[in-house]
A and B are shown apart, each in its own frame.
Chain A
Amino acid sequence: MDKNSDKRTDGRKPEELRPISARVGIIRKADGSAMFRIGDTIAYAAVYGPRELYPKFMQDPTKGILRCRYNMMPFSGSGDRVRPGPSRRSTEISLVTEKALLPVLNLEEFPNAVLDVFIDLPQTDAGTRCAGICAASMALADAGIFMRDMVSAVAVGMVNGRLLADLSYEEESTEGEVSDMPVAFTPKTGELTLLQLDGGVTKTELIKALELGRKVCREIYSVQKATLKEKYSGESGEED
């Protein structure tokens, strides 16, 4: 990145997101589904349930259970093949995805049952967990699940002292000091449901970054909202 110019290596402004596109209802077998694309990162999400949970000992009679599974397709990464099956990385991402979605759900609605969210990424650049959360939130809405709000997510970060929204893979792997901060917000209340950080920032930088995250998540939210409305407006419901 050129320090003296406002532009980033891919020509974006500091607060500019990569191009976003989204679709809902793309997987017929699922109760709800969505695709969310940001830059070259593509996430598919499918929701099954609420449905009965087996084995029975896993059931909770006071509330339903949310299960998320994040999975990179074996050919989706730059570099080596991703070995199929859970890794430490994917297990952690599955967990934080669950926690990012839980605050908007009311699991007491379906005791003993399970709500399954499956996220698969066919192509990745950067910001895969955030793209997955965006897709999952849309898939949950598509599945008619009771939700207090949507969830919108993006990575914000500091690259050599500059605050940037939606880091690309190139920026993430820049020489020098890079801080990467995936965040998820509930757009209505502006609260955080996902926060992680790798790097090194001051408290002031952190708060600035979070404020930027909240701001750009509103842009993501508008895409999510428009896509959901468009499907049900019937004008493009059967389009493929």
Chain B
Amino acid sequence: MTAIVDSSTPTRTVTGPRRTRGAGVEARPAWFIYALLGALLVGSTYPLYWSFVMGSSDKSALVEMFPPLLPGSQFWTNVLEVVDTVPFWMALLNSVIVSSVVTISVVFFSTLAGYAFAKLRFRGREGLMVFVIATLAVPTQLGIIPLFMLMKQFGWTGSLGAVIVPTLVTAFGVFFMRQYLIDVIPDELVEAARVDGASMIRTFLNVGLPAARPAMAILGMFTFMTAWTDFLWPLLVVPQNPTLQVALSQLQSAKYVDYSIVLAGAVLATLPLLLVFVLVGKQLVSGIMAGAVKG
């Protein structure tokens, strides 16, 4: 298993220097490589930019053969229209609450369980871990019908609890934290804390948590994004008390759909994640790359 994120861990140095330049293999690539990357850049950003251009114009812009190159002046007007059409502020608040609670809970419980699986000895550990990994490949989403009936039975439909509770701790989180902690904390450190008379939970708080911090940040980032983008389940249980994605989808079901407003809404709903991207984009990249190396 490869160490996650931290490239200075000994596992990497054992395999030798990873990037040695020279021998002709690592020459600077030719210009057309950059042209290709430039085309990719346009491809990955243009649809978003186009929606901003459209979302900031009035609907006549949509009919034109050539889309305008520059944004129009109507963005705020359209945004106000979005806010008027759907319960935007409530939805935003709901999304913030759901995503924050889910993130804090997933990060905490996954770290706790991941730490136990990585560093504590107990009977049945291997078997339970295999079970956790196996659940990763099980499409539990397909249990929505009984889950919906359960929520209805409890009278939870319509409340945010119905959205939050099913995702309070995830198999991926547990697995991710275990993979990270297994290499990062030396066993001696845990034992030393025990010898000093620290209780199990003390040892976790003093040794496990500080070591887990970088991975917790990555897990938190991805959990927040997943919770923020979730659509099917919130659409089912809280259509009247919507999260942002559900509210946004309702823009489209108005009787006369004005697409400049729909697109302004699409840009609006993306803004918080774009902010995340601008602030911690690099960590996002290394997070994706770290989560990948599993084998």
Q: Do A and B come from one complex?
A: no
Q: Which residues in A have some Cβ–Cβ distance to B below 8 Å?
A: none
